[in-house]
Amino acid sequence: MALIVIFWILSFGGTALTYIFTGLYHDWWWFWTIPLLAMAYFLVCFALWLIFLYIGGLFVDSDQERIYKPNPFAQWTIRQTCRVILLLLGVRTHITGLGKIPEKQPIILIHNHLSVFDEFAIAGFFPKHLIFISKPGNFRIPIAGAWMRYAGYISIKQDDIANGVEVISLATDYINKKKRSICVAPEGTRNKDFPNPLLLPFHAGTFRLAQDSGAPIVIMAIQNTNCIFQRFPKARTHVYLDVVGIMEKDEYGSMTTRQVADKARGMIEKRLEHKEARFYHFRPKKKKEEGAE
């Protein structure tokens, strides 16, 4: 929350200076403009921050094949920027189950994939700094792509077995030697037809990373990131990140990758079914059916 706090301090400072130097404080009628001015200055601060990110990104090599070492400043920058963006989009993020996560060892975070905002919510509010495994297209996003590379994020090509093996090897090295935690979505792509189905099939190869590294698998269910654009700016969106289970090496060590994938998928599916009432787009459908009756 550091960047948000800094932006608000600068915003109210700018508002106060505006009132002092323009003489608006002499007339009580103008006091209603205080929140408007503060928000305007907040947006100005964010715009200047984006300019800083753009300029900083120019110094990051755009070569897709180059792998950067995880940089703490880049990871902090991404975390803070994600929080500001979600705030401006009216998103409130709720996280449960954090007490289950091992504190002093790297983990592999597995989650269902609904939207590009999955990574925003996880990077912004998950307690550990994570190295994301993401598709190449995300690294071509202006500004964001450069900082993702600088933070050490890993690009993986879909349906490319050789590249997948290389990525698993690199991620395993991150976990065992650099003590970094990894985040990956086993579905491989966004579930554009959610909630029918609730989940796409999980790629069993994803869990080879766990077997090679021996790291605990943290399984997370994500809800409502796919509704953010639909609800903005009319309504706030509540996004839920629920840690639904942990699989230690003692548990998955004797299992095949397919068995691990099916068990992880089942845990997420059970959570989504249990918390169906949270889905915003279920409600209009139910109302429509009740109206038809």
Query: Could you read off the pLDDT tens digit of each residue along the chain, which spans 293 residues?
Result: 799 999 999 999 999 999 888 887 778 777 888 899 999 999 999 999 999 999 999 998 877 667 888 899 999 999 999 999 999 999 999 999 999 998 889 999 999 999 999 999 999 999 988 999 998 888 889 999 999 999 999 998 877 778 888 999 999 999 999 899 999 999 989 999 999 999 999 999 999 999 999 999 999 999 999 999 999 999 999 999 999 999 999 999 999 999 999 999 999 999 999 999 999 865 444 444 444 43
Residue with tokens 């639904």: 244
The pTM score is 0.89
H or E element: which one contains 245?
strand 237-247
Asked if the bond preceding 233 is cis, omega within 30° of 0, the reply is: yes
Q: What is the pLDDT of residue 163?
A: 84
Q: What is the pLDDT of residue 10?
A: 97
Q: What is the pLDDT of residue 64?
A: 65
Alpha carbon of residue 260 to chain centroid: 23
Structure tokens given for 212: 């090679």
- End-to-end alpha-carbon separation of the chain, Å? 48
Q: Residue 150 to residues 79, 176, 183: CA-CA distances in angstroms?
A: 13, 20, 16
Burial class from Cβ neighbours inside 10 Å (0-12, 13-18, 19+) for residue 103 reads: exposed
Q: What is the pLDDT of residue 285?
A: 44
CA 109/CA 125 separation, integer angstroms: 13
